[in-house]
Structure 1
Amino acid sequence: NEKTLSGYCALTKKIVNVSDVYNIPREMPYSFNTSFDRISGYKTTSTLTVPLKTAEGRLLGVIQVINARSPDGGTVAFTKEDELLITHFAANATVALQRAYMTRAMILRMIKMSELRDPKETGAHVNRVAGYAVEIFDRWAYRHGLNDVEREKTRDTLKIAAMLHDVGKVAISDLILKKPARFTPEEYAVMQAHTYFGARLFDDPQSPLDSIAADVALTHHENWDGSGYPGWIDVMTGKPLKTDSQGKALGRKMEEIPLGGRIVAVADVFDALSSKRVYKQAWSEQDVYDEIRKMSGIKFDPEMVEVFFEILPSIKQIRELYPEQE
Protein backbone atom coordinates (compact mmCIF):
# COMPACT_ATOMS: atom_id res chain seq x y z
CA ASN A 1 0.00 0.00 0.00
CA GLU A 2 1.01 3.64 -0.37
CA LYS A 3 1.43 4.20 3.37
CA THR A 4 5.00 2.84 3.36
CA LEU A 5 7.98 4.06 1.37
CA SER A 6 8.43 0.74 -0.42
CA GLY A 7 4.71 0.36 -0.98
CA TYR A 8 4.40 3.83 -2.50
CA CYS A 9 7.38 3.16 -4.75
CA ALA A 10 5.83 -0.13 -5.88
CA LEU A 11 2.42 1.37 -6.56
CA THR A 12 3.69 4.40 -8.47
CA LYS A 13 6.76 2.67 -9.98
CA LYS A 14 8.67 5.85 -9.26
CA ILE A 15 11.83 6.61 -7.30
CA VAL A 16 11.21 7.80 -3.72
CA ASN A 17 14.10 9.87 -2.35
CA VAL A 18 13.65 11.00 1.26
CA SER A 19 16.31 13.09 2.96
CA ASP A 20 15.00 12.59 6.52
CA VAL A 21 12.46 9.85 7.26
CA TYR A 22 11.66 11.42 10.64
CA ASN A 23 10.59 14.67 8.96
CA ILE A 24 8.48 13.57 5.99
CA PRO A 25 6.04 16.36 4.97
CA ARG A 26 2.51 15.75 6.24
CA GLU A 27 1.01 16.00 2.75
CA MET A 28 2.89 12.87 1.66
CA PRO A 29 0.79 9.67 1.77
CA TYR A 30 3.65 7.58 3.12
CA SER A 31 5.48 7.52 6.44
CA PHE A 32 8.41 5.70 8.06
CA ASN A 33 7.88 2.93 10.60
CA THR A 34 10.25 3.90 13.41
CA SER A 35 9.83 0.58 15.23
CA PHE A 36 12.55 -0.99 13.06
CA ASP A 37 15.05 1.58 14.32
CA ARG A 38 13.98 1.01 17.93
CA ILE A 39 14.39 -2.75 17.60
CA SER A 40 17.74 -2.63 15.81
CA GLY A 41 19.22 0.37 17.58
CA TYR A 42 20.18 1.81 14.20
CA LYS A 43 19.11 5.33 13.21
CA THR A 44 17.71 5.67 9.69
CA THR A 45 17.84 9.14 8.19
CA SER A 46 17.97 9.24 4.39
CA THR A 47 16.45 6.57 2.15
CA LEU A 48 16.35 5.93 -1.57
CA THR A 49 13.76 3.47 -2.88
CA VAL A 50 13.90 2.42 -6.54
CA PRO A 51 11.41 0.20 -8.41
CA LEU A 52 12.59 -2.93 -10.20
CA LYS A 53 10.55 -2.77 -13.37
CA THR A 54 10.89 -4.45 -16.73
CA ALA A 55 10.99 -2.74 -20.11
CA GLU A 56 7.29 -3.65 -20.40
CA GLY A 57 6.56 -1.84 -17.13
CA ARG A 58 5.99 -4.97 -15.03
CA LEU A 59 7.03 -4.51 -11.40
CA LEU A 60 9.27 -7.23 -9.97
CA GLY A 61 10.04 -5.56 -6.65
CA VAL A 62 11.85 -2.58 -5.15
CA ILE A 63 15.36 -1.96 -3.88
CA GLN A 64 15.92 0.35 -0.94
CA VAL A 65 19.19 1.80 0.38
CA ILE A 66 19.54 3.88 3.52
CA ASN A 67 21.83 6.54 4.96
CA ALA A 68 24.01 7.98 2.24
CA ARG A 69 27.46 8.92 3.57
CA SER A 70 29.47 12.07 3.06
CA PRO A 71 33.29 11.92 2.64
CA ASP A 72 33.70 12.61 6.37
CA GLY A 73 31.37 9.76 7.33
CA GLY A 74 28.26 11.79 8.14
CA THR A 75 24.76 10.90 6.99
CA VAL A 76 23.49 13.00 4.08
CA ALA A 77 20.65 12.96 1.54
CA PHE A 78 20.93 10.88 -1.61
CA THR A 79 21.84 12.94 -4.67
CA LYS A 80 20.66 12.77 -8.27
CA GLU A 81 23.95 11.01 -9.08
CA ASP A 82 23.08 8.41 -6.44
CA GLU A 83 19.70 7.93 -8.08
CA LEU A 84 21.37 7.25 -11.43
CA LEU A 85 23.80 4.77 -9.86
CA ILE A 86 21.12 2.83 -7.96
CA THR A 87 18.80 2.91 -10.98
CA HIS A 88 21.57 1.30 -13.05
CA PHE A 89 22.05 -1.35 -10.36
CA ALA A 90 18.29 -1.88 -10.22
CA ALA A 91 18.19 -2.43 -13.99
CA ASN A 92 20.82 -5.16 -13.71
CA ALA A 93 18.96 -6.74 -10.80
CA THR A 94 15.74 -6.66 -12.83
CA VAL A 95 17.39 -8.52 -15.72
CA ALA A 96 18.68 -11.19 -13.31
CA LEU A 97 15.22 -11.56 -11.76
CA GLN A 98 13.60 -11.80 -15.19
CA ARG A 99 15.93 -14.63 -16.14
CA ALA A 100 15.21 -16.41 -12.88
CA TYR A 101 11.45 -16.04 -13.42
CA MET A 102 11.77 -17.29 -17.00
CA THR A 103 13.74 -20.32 -15.82
CA ARG A 104 11.19 -21.07 -13.12
CA ALA A 105 8.32 -20.66 -15.58
CA MET A 106 9.92 -23.10 -18.03
CA ILE A 107 10.49 -25.62 -15.25
CA LEU A 108 6.88 -25.36 -14.10
CA ARG A 109 5.77 -25.90 -17.69
CA MET A 110 7.91 -29.04 -17.89
CA ILE A 111 6.28 -30.30 -14.70
CA LYS A 112 2.83 -29.52 -16.10
CA MET A 113 3.74 -31.32 -19.32
CA SER A 114 4.64 -34.43 -17.32
CA GLU A 115 1.35 -34.17 -15.44
CA LEU A 116 -0.61 -33.98 -18.70
CA ARG A 117 1.15 -37.07 -20.10
CA ASP A 118 1.12 -39.28 -17.03
CA PRO A 119 -2.04 -39.55 -14.91
CA LYS A 120 0.12 -40.63 -11.94
CA GLU A 121 2.32 -37.52 -12.16
CA THR A 122 -0.17 -35.25 -10.46
CA GLY A 123 0.73 -31.84 -9.08
CA ALA A 124 0.08 -33.16 -5.59
CA HIS A 125 2.47 -36.08 -6.12
CA VAL A 126 5.39 -34.00 -7.36
CA ASN A 127 4.86 -31.42 -4.61
CA ARG A 128 4.83 -34.14 -1.95
CA VAL A 129 7.96 -35.83 -3.31
CA ALA A 130 9.74 -32.47 -3.49
CA GLY A 131 8.62 -31.60 0.03
CA TYR A 132 9.78 -34.92 1.46
CA ALA A 133 13.11 -34.62 -0.37
CA VAL A 134 13.81 -31.16 1.03
CA GLU A 135 13.00 -32.24 4.59
CA ILE A 136 15.23 -35.31 4.28
CA PHE A 137 18.05 -33.20 2.87
CA ASP A 138 17.72 -30.59 5.63
CA ARG A 139 18.15 -33.21 8.35
CA TRP A 140 20.99 -34.90 6.45
CA ALA A 141 22.71 -31.50 6.05
CA TYR A 142 22.34 -30.83 9.78
CA ARG A 143 23.89 -34.20 10.57
CA HIS A 144 26.84 -33.47 8.30
CA GLY A 145 27.41 -29.91 9.46
CA LEU A 146 26.68 -28.09 6.18
CA ASN A 147 26.74 -24.33 6.58
CA ASP A 148 23.53 -22.37 6.08
CA VAL A 149 24.57 -20.87 2.74
CA GLU A 150 25.38 -24.25 1.18
CA ARG A 151 22.29 -25.85 2.70
CA GLU A 152 19.91 -23.17 1.39
CA LYS A 153 21.48 -23.22 -2.06
CA THR A 154 21.23 -27.01 -2.34
CA ARG A 155 17.74 -27.36 -0.88
CA ASP A 156 16.27 -24.93 -3.43
CA THR A 157 17.79 -26.74 -6.41
CA LEU A 158 16.95 -30.16 -4.97
CA LYS A 159 13.31 -29.18 -4.55
CA ILE A 160 12.95 -28.34 -8.24
CA ALA A 161 15.02 -31.36 -9.31
CA ALA A 162 12.78 -33.62 -7.23
CA MET A 163 9.71 -32.18 -8.94
CA LEU A 164 11.30 -33.14 -12.27
CA HIS A 165 12.36 -36.65 -11.25
CA ASP A 166 9.99 -38.39 -13.69
CA VAL A 167 10.04 -35.83 -16.50
CA GLY A 168 11.55 -38.45 -18.83
CA LYS A 169 8.17 -40.21 -18.92
CA VAL A 170 7.12 -37.78 -21.65
CA ALA A 171 9.18 -40.00 -23.99
CA ILE A 172 7.30 -43.19 -23.06
CA SER A 173 4.42 -44.44 -25.21
CA ASP A 174 0.91 -43.77 -23.92
CA LEU A 175 0.12 -47.47 -24.37
CA ILE A 176 2.53 -48.16 -21.53
CA LEU A 177 2.41 -44.91 -19.57
CA LYS A 178 -1.38 -44.91 -19.21
CA LYS A 179 -1.91 -48.64 -18.94
CA PRO A 180 -4.50 -49.22 -16.16
CA ALA A 181 -2.74 -52.36 -14.90
CA ARG A 182 0.65 -53.69 -13.95
CA PHE A 183 3.36 -53.76 -16.62
CA THR A 184 4.57 -56.91 -18.32
CA PRO A 185 8.35 -57.52 -18.05
CA GLU A 186 8.78 -56.12 -21.57
CA GLU A 187 6.76 -53.01 -20.78
CA TYR A 188 8.65 -52.51 -17.54
CA ALA A 189 11.94 -52.56 -19.47
CA VAL A 190 10.62 -49.81 -21.75
CA MET A 191 9.42 -47.78 -18.76
CA GLN A 192 12.89 -47.94 -17.20
CA ALA A 193 14.18 -45.78 -20.05
CA HIS A 194 12.40 -42.75 -18.56
CA THR A 195 15.39 -42.31 -16.26
CA TYR A 196 17.93 -41.58 -18.98
CA PHE A 197 15.38 -39.84 -21.20
CA GLY A 198 14.89 -37.41 -18.33
CA ALA A 199 18.62 -36.98 -17.78
CA ARG A 200 19.08 -36.15 -21.48
CA LEU A 201 17.04 -32.99 -20.99
CA PHE A 202 19.89 -31.67 -18.85
CA ASP A 203 22.83 -33.00 -20.87
CA ASP A 204 24.27 -29.50 -21.40
CA PRO A 205 24.29 -28.18 -17.81
CA GLN A 206 24.12 -24.41 -17.48
CA SER A 207 23.62 -24.30 -13.71
CA PRO A 208 23.82 -26.43 -10.55
CA LEU A 209 20.09 -27.11 -11.01
CA ASP A 210 20.74 -28.80 -14.36
CA SER A 211 23.39 -31.05 -12.81
CA ILE A 212 21.26 -32.07 -9.82
CA ALA A 213 18.14 -32.53 -11.98
CA ALA A 214 20.11 -34.84 -14.31
CA ASP A 215 21.41 -36.85 -11.34
CA VAL A 216 17.96 -37.21 -9.80
CA ALA A 217 16.22 -38.12 -13.06
CA LEU A 218 18.87 -40.73 -13.87
CA THR A 219 19.42 -42.35 -10.46
CA HIS A 220 16.25 -42.17 -8.38
CA HIS A 221 15.54 -45.84 -9.21
CA GLU A 222 19.04 -47.06 -8.34
CA ASN A 223 19.24 -49.31 -5.27
CA TRP A 224 21.76 -49.18 -2.43
CA ASP A 225 22.78 -52.80 -3.10
CA GLY A 226 23.29 -52.24 -6.84
CA SER A 227 20.12 -54.02 -8.00
CA GLY A 228 18.34 -50.93 -9.38
CA TYR A 229 18.24 -49.31 -12.80
CA PRO A 230 19.37 -47.98 -15.26
CA GLY A 231 22.87 -48.48 -13.87
CA TRP A 232 26.11 -47.43 -15.53
CA ILE A 233 24.92 -46.39 -18.98
CA ASP A 234 25.63 -43.78 -21.61
CA VAL A 235 22.75 -41.34 -21.12
CA MET A 236 22.66 -40.37 -24.80
CA THR A 237 22.57 -43.91 -26.20
CA GLY A 238 21.24 -45.99 -23.32
CA LYS A 239 24.10 -48.47 -23.86
CA PRO A 240 25.97 -49.97 -20.88
CA LEU A 241 29.27 -48.46 -19.77
CA LYS A 242 29.91 -51.16 -17.17
CA THR A 243 28.46 -54.63 -17.59
CA ASP A 244 27.91 -57.83 -15.64
CA SER A 245 28.64 -61.35 -16.88
CA GLN A 246 25.45 -61.27 -18.98
CA GLY A 247 26.36 -58.01 -20.68
CA LYS A 248 23.73 -55.99 -18.80
CA ALA A 249 24.50 -52.62 -17.26
CA LEU A 250 25.83 -52.83 -13.73
CA GLY A 251 23.70 -50.94 -11.25
CA ARG A 252 25.12 -48.10 -9.24
CA LYS A 253 25.45 -48.91 -5.56
CA MET A 254 25.99 -47.14 -2.27
CA GLU A 255 27.77 -43.77 -2.65
CA GLU A 256 28.04 -44.33 -6.41
CA ILE A 257 24.46 -43.06 -6.38
CA PRO A 258 24.44 -39.25 -6.09
CA LEU A 259 22.98 -37.76 -2.92
CA GLY A 260 19.91 -36.38 -4.73
CA GLY A 261 19.11 -39.78 -6.20
CA ARG A 262 19.37 -41.49 -2.79
CA ILE A 263 17.08 -38.91 -1.20
CA VAL A 264 14.42 -38.89 -3.93
CA ALA A 265 14.40 -42.71 -4.00
CA VAL A 266 13.01 -42.77 -0.45
CA ALA A 267 10.64 -39.85 -1.06
CA ASP A 268 9.23 -41.29 -4.29
CA VAL A 269 8.69 -44.83 -3.01
CA PHE A 270 7.08 -43.59 0.19
CA ASP A 271 4.60 -41.53 -1.78
CA ALA A 272 3.92 -44.29 -4.31
CA LEU A 273 3.19 -46.86 -1.61
CA SER A 274 1.00 -44.41 0.31
CA SER A 275 -1.07 -43.50 -2.76
CA LYS A 276 -3.90 -45.28 -4.57
CA ARG A 277 -3.30 -46.33 -8.17
CA VAL A 278 -5.60 -47.91 -10.75
CA TYR A 279 -3.79 -51.21 -10.22
CA LYS A 280 -3.50 -51.06 -6.40
CA GLN A 281 -4.92 -49.59 -3.22
CA ALA A 282 -2.90 -47.33 -0.98
CA TRP A 283 -0.93 -49.26 1.61
CA SER A 284 -1.68 -48.73 5.28
CA GLU A 285 0.57 -46.26 7.07
CA GLN A 286 2.21 -48.96 9.19
CA ASP A 287 2.78 -51.26 6.21
CA VAL A 288 4.53 -48.42 4.37
CA TYR A 289 6.80 -47.72 7.35
CA ASP A 290 7.60 -51.43 7.71
CA GLU A 291 8.51 -51.65 4.02
CA ILE A 292 10.79 -48.59 4.20
CA ARG A 293 12.61 -50.09 7.19
CA LYS A 294 12.86 -53.50 5.51
CA MET A 295 14.43 -51.97 2.41
CA SER A 296 17.12 -50.11 4.39
CA GLY A 297 20.52 -51.25 3.12
CA ILE A 298 18.87 -53.03 0.18
CA LYS A 299 16.95 -50.47 -1.82
CA PHE A 300 17.66 -47.41 0.30
CA ASP A 301 20.67 -45.70 1.83
CA PRO A 302 20.42 -46.71 5.54
CA GLU A 303 21.19 -43.16 6.64
CA MET A 304 18.34 -41.77 4.53
CA VAL A 305 15.96 -44.23 6.18
CA GLU A 306 17.15 -43.11 9.62
CA VAL A 307 16.66 -39.47 8.63
CA PHE A 308 13.21 -40.22 7.19
CA PHE A 309 11.96 -41.56 10.51
CA GLU A 310 13.60 -38.74 12.46
CA ILE A 311 11.50 -36.22 10.53
CA LEU A 312 8.32 -38.29 10.30
CA PRO A 313 6.08 -35.54 11.76
CA SER A 314 7.21 -33.20 8.95
CA ILE A 315 6.60 -35.94 6.38
CA LYS A 316 3.03 -36.36 7.64
CA GLN A 317 2.41 -32.62 7.50
CA ILE A 318 3.53 -32.47 3.86
CA ARG A 319 1.24 -35.35 2.95
CA GLU A 320 -1.70 -33.52 4.54
CA LEU A 321 -0.73 -30.28 2.80
CA TYR A 322 -0.93 -31.83 -0.69
CA PRO A 323 -3.81 -34.33 -0.66
CA GLU A 324 -4.61 -36.30 -3.78
CA GLN A 325 -7.71 -35.10 -5.60
CA GLU A 326 -10.24 -37.83 -6.25
Structure 2
Amino acid sequence: ASNATVALEHAHLTRSMVLRMIRMSELRDPKETGPHVNRVSSYAVEIYDRWAFNNSIDENESKKFRDTLKIAAMLHDVGKVAISDLILKKPARFTEEEYLIMQGHTWLGAKLFNEIESPVDRVAREVALTHHENWDGTGYPGNVNVDNGAPSDGKKNGKTKGLKGEKIPISGRIVALADVYDALSCKRVYKEPWAEDKVLEEIKSQRGKKFDPGVVDAFFEILPSIKAIQERFPDVEETA
Protein backbone atom coordinates (compact mmCIF):
# COMPACT_ATOMS: atom_id res chain seq x y z
CA ALA A 1 0.00 0.00 0.00
CA SER A 2 1.13 3.55 -0.68
CA ASN A 3 2.09 5.90 2.14
CA ALA A 4 -1.02 7.97 1.39
CA THR A 5 -3.27 4.90 1.69
CA VAL A 6 -1.66 3.87 4.98
CA ALA A 7 -2.08 7.42 6.33
CA LEU A 8 -5.76 7.48 5.35
CA GLU A 9 -6.38 4.08 6.94
CA HIS A 10 -4.67 5.22 10.14
CA ALA A 11 -6.69 8.45 10.22
CA HIS A 12 -9.90 6.44 9.83
CA LEU A 13 -8.83 4.06 12.61
CA THR A 14 -7.98 6.96 14.93
CA ARG A 15 -11.33 8.64 14.28
CA SER A 16 -13.18 5.35 14.83
CA MET A 17 -11.42 4.78 18.16
CA VAL A 18 -12.10 8.35 19.27
CA LEU A 19 -15.81 8.04 18.49
CA ARG A 20 -15.96 4.79 20.48
CA MET A 21 -14.28 6.45 23.46
CA ILE A 22 -16.71 9.36 23.34
CA ARG A 23 -19.66 6.98 23.11
CA MET A 24 -18.31 5.02 26.08
CA SER A 25 -18.17 8.24 28.11
CA GLU A 26 -21.71 9.20 27.07
CA LEU A 27 -23.03 5.84 28.25
CA ARG A 28 -21.73 6.64 31.74
CA ASP A 29 -23.56 9.97 31.92
CA PRO A 30 -25.50 10.94 28.77
CA LYS A 31 -27.16 13.98 30.37
CA GLU A 32 -23.87 15.69 31.17
CA THR A 33 -21.19 14.18 28.98
CA GLY A 34 -22.71 14.33 25.47
CA PRO A 35 -23.58 18.04 25.22
CA HIS A 36 -20.67 18.93 27.53
CA VAL A 37 -17.98 17.42 25.28
CA ASN A 38 -19.48 19.06 22.20
CA ARG A 39 -19.57 22.47 23.87
CA VAL A 40 -16.09 22.23 25.36
CA SER A 41 -14.48 21.07 22.10
CA SER A 42 -16.26 23.81 20.14
CA TYR A 43 -15.31 26.48 22.70
CA ALA A 44 -11.71 25.24 22.59
CA VAL A 45 -11.44 25.52 18.81
CA GLU A 46 -12.90 29.05 18.75
CA ILE A 47 -10.62 30.19 21.58
CA TYR A 48 -7.61 28.61 19.87
CA ASP A 49 -8.38 30.32 16.55
CA ARG A 50 -8.38 33.74 18.23
CA TRP A 51 -5.34 32.92 20.39
CA ALA A 52 -3.42 31.75 17.30
CA PHE A 53 -4.36 34.93 15.43
CA ASN A 54 -3.32 37.10 18.38
CA ASN A 55 0.02 35.26 18.56
CA SER A 56 0.68 35.34 14.79
CA ILE A 57 0.72 31.54 14.48
CA ASP A 58 1.20 30.34 10.89
CA GLU A 59 -2.22 29.79 9.29
CA ASN A 60 -1.43 26.30 7.96
CA GLU A 61 -0.02 25.26 11.32
CA SER A 62 -3.03 26.61 13.22
CA LYS A 63 -5.50 24.89 10.88
CA LYS A 64 -3.85 21.51 11.44
CA PHE A 65 -3.75 22.03 15.19
CA ARG A 66 -7.35 23.22 15.49
CA ASP A 67 -8.64 20.03 13.83
CA THR A 68 -6.56 17.91 16.21
CA LEU A 69 -7.62 19.99 19.22
CA LYS A 70 -11.32 19.58 18.39
CA ILE A 71 -11.06 15.81 18.72
CA ALA A 72 -8.68 15.88 21.69
CA ALA A 73 -10.90 18.31 23.62
CA MET A 74 -13.84 15.92 23.24
CA LEU A 75 -11.78 13.37 25.17
CA HIS A 76 -10.70 15.64 28.03
CA ASP A 77 -12.72 13.71 30.63
CA VAL A 78 -12.38 10.21 29.13
CA GLY A 79 -10.54 9.09 32.27
CA LYS A 80 -13.80 9.41 34.21
CA VAL A 81 -14.87 6.03 32.80
CA ALA A 82 -12.54 4.58 35.46
CA ILE A 83 -14.12 6.57 38.33
CA SER A 84 -16.95 5.09 40.40
CA ASP A 85 -20.49 6.36 39.78
CA LEU A 86 -20.78 6.84 43.55
CA ILE A 87 -18.22 9.63 43.20
CA LEU A 88 -19.07 10.88 39.69
CA LYS A 89 -22.74 11.43 40.50
CA LYS A 90 -22.46 12.38 44.16
CA PRO A 91 -24.86 15.33 44.76
CA ALA A 92 -22.70 16.80 47.53
CA ARG A 93 -19.15 17.92 48.16
CA PHE A 94 -16.44 15.27 47.87
CA THR A 95 -14.54 14.12 50.92
CA GLU A 96 -10.78 14.67 50.70
CA GLU A 97 -10.31 11.01 49.75
CA GLU A 98 -13.01 11.19 47.05
CA TYR A 99 -11.48 14.37 45.65
CA LEU A 100 -8.09 12.67 45.31
CA ILE A 101 -9.73 9.74 43.51
CA MET A 102 -11.57 12.14 41.20
CA GLN A 103 -8.30 13.92 40.38
CA GLY A 104 -7.08 10.59 39.02
CA HIS A 105 -9.27 10.95 35.93
CA THR A 106 -6.51 13.14 34.48
CA TRP A 107 -3.68 10.60 34.44
CA LEU A 108 -6.09 7.71 33.81
CA GLY A 109 -7.27 9.49 30.67
CA ALA A 110 -3.69 10.25 29.60
CA LYS A 111 -2.74 6.60 30.12
CA LEU A 112 -5.11 5.62 27.29
CA PHE A 113 -2.85 7.53 24.88
CA ASN A 114 0.53 6.32 26.15
CA GLU A 115 1.38 4.70 22.82
CA ILE A 116 1.47 7.87 20.76
CA GLU A 117 0.97 7.11 17.07
CA SER A 118 -0.61 10.31 15.75
CA PRO A 119 -0.99 14.04 16.50
CA VAL A 120 -4.45 13.28 17.92
CA ASP A 121 -2.94 10.79 20.39
CA ARG A 122 -0.33 13.34 21.49
CA VAL A 123 -2.75 16.23 21.99
CA ALA A 124 -5.44 14.01 23.55
CA ARG A 125 -2.85 12.85 26.08
CA GLU A 126 -1.85 16.47 26.80
CA VAL A 127 -5.44 17.59 27.26
CA ALA A 128 -6.52 14.67 29.44
CA LEU A 129 -3.49 15.13 31.68
CA THR A 130 -3.33 18.94 31.95
CA HIS A 131 -6.86 20.38 31.71
CA HIS A 132 -6.96 20.85 35.50
CA GLU A 133 -3.55 22.53 35.74
CA ASN A 134 -3.57 26.22 36.72
CA TRP A 135 -1.46 29.02 35.23
CA ASP A 136 -0.10 29.88 38.71
CA GLY A 137 0.91 26.29 39.48
CA THR A 138 -1.89 25.47 41.94
CA GLY A 139 -3.66 22.86 39.78
CA TYR A 140 -3.34 19.08 39.41
CA PRO A 141 -2.08 16.42 38.78
CA GLY A 142 1.36 17.98 38.31
CA ASN A 143 4.36 15.74 37.71
CA VAL A 144 2.95 12.23 37.90
CA ASN A 145 3.67 8.84 36.40
CA VAL A 146 0.65 8.26 34.14
CA ASP A 147 0.97 4.49 34.56
CA ASN A 148 0.01 4.64 38.24
CA GLY A 149 -0.55 8.28 39.25
CA ALA A 150 2.44 8.29 41.61
CA PRO A 151 4.53 11.47 41.97
CA SER A 152 7.43 11.41 39.52
CA ASP A 153 9.26 14.58 40.60
CA GLY A 154 8.72 18.06 42.04
CA LYS A 155 7.46 16.74 45.37
CA LYS A 156 6.26 19.31 47.87
CA ASN A 157 4.92 18.21 51.27
CA GLY A 158 4.42 14.73 49.87
CA LYS A 159 2.47 15.99 46.85
CA THR A 160 3.50 16.93 43.34
CA LYS A 161 3.67 20.56 42.30
CA GLY A 162 1.21 21.61 39.64
CA LEU A 163 2.60 22.59 36.26
CA LYS A 164 2.94 26.36 35.87
CA GLY A 165 2.64 28.93 33.08
CA GLU A 166 3.85 27.83 29.67
CA LYS A 167 5.00 24.48 31.10
CA ILE A 168 1.30 23.65 30.59
CA PRO A 169 0.69 22.92 26.88
CA ILE A 170 -1.56 25.42 25.09
CA SER A 171 -4.07 22.62 24.50
CA GLY A 172 -4.47 22.13 28.25
CA ARG A 173 -4.56 25.87 28.99
CA ILE A 174 -7.40 26.38 26.52
CA VAL A 175 -9.46 23.35 27.52
CA ALA A 176 -9.05 24.34 31.19
CA LEU A 177 -10.92 27.60 30.56
CA ALA A 178 -13.49 26.01 28.22
CA ASP A 179 -14.23 23.29 30.78
CA VAL A 180 -14.63 25.69 33.71
CA TYR A 181 -16.83 28.07 31.71
CA ASP A 182 -19.13 25.19 30.80
CA ALA A 183 -19.19 23.72 34.31
CA LEU A 184 -20.13 27.06 35.87
CA SER A 185 -22.71 27.90 33.18
CA CYS A 186 -24.60 24.61 33.33
CA LYS A 187 -26.51 22.60 35.88
CA ARG A 188 -24.66 19.70 37.51
CA VAL A 189 -25.71 17.04 40.01
CA TYR A 190 -24.09 19.15 42.75
CA LYS A 191 -25.05 22.71 41.65
CA GLU A 192 -27.39 25.02 39.78
CA PRO A 193 -26.02 27.07 36.86
CA TRP A 194 -24.43 30.40 37.68
CA ALA A 195 -25.75 33.62 36.15
CA GLU A 196 -23.80 34.59 33.04
CA ASP A 197 -22.42 37.83 34.49
CA LYS A 198 -21.16 35.94 37.55
CA VAL A 199 -19.45 33.33 35.33
CA LEU A 200 -17.69 36.00 33.27
CA GLU A 201 -16.67 37.89 36.40
CA GLU A 202 -15.14 34.70 37.82
CA ILE A 203 -13.15 34.00 34.65
CA LYS A 204 -11.91 37.59 34.52
CA SER A 205 -10.85 37.39 38.18
CA GLN A 206 -8.81 34.24 37.45
CA ARG A 207 -6.80 35.83 34.62
CA GLY A 208 -3.15 35.19 35.47
CA LYS A 209 -4.15 32.92 38.38
CA LYS A 210 -6.09 29.89 37.25
CA PHE A 211 -6.01 30.82 33.56
CA ASP A 212 -3.44 31.92 30.98
CA PRO A 213 -3.98 35.69 30.47
CA GLY A 214 -3.74 35.34 26.68
CA VAL A 215 -6.36 32.59 26.65
CA VAL A 216 -8.71 34.70 28.79
CA ASP A 217 -8.27 37.65 26.42
CA ALA A 218 -9.02 35.45 23.40
CA PHE A 219 -12.14 34.08 25.15
CA PHE A 220 -13.58 37.53 25.83
CA GLU A 221 -12.90 38.62 22.25
CA ILE A 222 -15.17 35.84 20.89
CA LEU A 223 -18.03 35.85 23.42
CA PRO A 224 -20.78 35.92 20.75
CA SER A 225 -19.37 32.70 19.26
CA ILE A 226 -19.23 31.13 22.72
CA LYS A 227 -22.90 31.95 23.35
CA ALA A 228 -23.90 30.56 19.93
CA ILE A 229 -22.18 27.25 20.76
CA GLN A 230 -23.96 27.09 24.12
CA GLU A 231 -27.31 27.43 22.35
CA ARG A 232 -26.38 24.85 19.70
CA PHE A 233 -25.61 22.11 22.25
CA PRO A 234 -28.13 22.39 25.13
CA ASP A 235 -28.19 19.83 27.92
CA VAL A 236 -30.63 16.98 27.40
CA GLU A 237 -33.74 17.44 29.50
CA GLU A 238 -34.85 14.48 31.58
CA THR A 239 -38.16 12.93 30.53
CA ALA A 240 -40.55 11.01 32.72
Paired residues of 1:115 and 1:123 also in contact (CA < 8 A)? yes
Structure 1 95/249 Cα, relative in aligned 2: closer, same or farther at 3 Å? closer
Bigger Rg, structure 1 or 2 = 1
CA-CA distance at 1:146 after TM superposition: 1.7
1: distance between equivalents of 2:13 and 2:116? 17
* Paired position in structure 2 for 1:235: 146
How do 1:136-285 residues align onto structure 2 when only pairs under 5 Å count? 136-285=47-196
* 1:318 equivalent in alignment to 2:207: no
Of Structure 1 and Structure 2, the greater helix share is in 2
CA-CA distance at 1:278 after TM superposition: 2.0
Gaps of 5+ in 1: 1-87
What do residues 182-220 of structure 1 show as CA deviations (whole Å, max 9, x unaligned)?
322211110000000000011110011111111100000
1: distance between equivalents of 2:197 and 2:81? 33
What do residues 284-313 of structure 1 show as CA deviations (whole Å, max 9, x unaligned)?
000000000011111111111111000111
How do 1:57-72 residues align onto structure 2 when only pairs under 5 Å count? none
Amino acid at match of 2:87: I
1: distance between equivalents of 2:118 and 2:7? 14
* Paired position in structure 2 for 1:110: 21
Of Structure 1 and Structure 2, the greater strand share is in 1
Paired residues of 2:31 and 2:236 also in contact (CA < 8 A)? no
1: distance between equivalents of 2:160 and 2:12? 39
Aligned Cα RMSD in Å?
Answer: 1.7
Per the normalisation by structure 2, the TM-score is 0.93
Structure 1 121/214 Cα, relative in aligned 2: closer, same or farther at 3 Å? farther
CA-CA distance at 1:96 after TM superposition: 4.5
Specify which of 31, 40, 43 is matched with residue 132 of structure 1. 43
2: distance between equivalents of 1:284 and 1:209? 35
What do residues 7-48 of structure 1 show as CA deviations (whole Å, max 9, x unaligned)?
xxxxxxxxxxxxxxxxxxxxxxxxxxxxxxxxxxxxxxxxxx
Report the count of equivalent residues.
237
CA-CA distance at 1:178 after TM superposition: 2.4
2: distance between equivalents of 1:150 and 1:275? 33
Structure 1 102/287 Cα, relative in aligned 2: closer, same or farther at 3 Å? same
Per the normalisation by structure 1, the TM-score is 0.69
Which protein has greater RCO, CA pairs closer than 8 Å, 6+ apart? 2
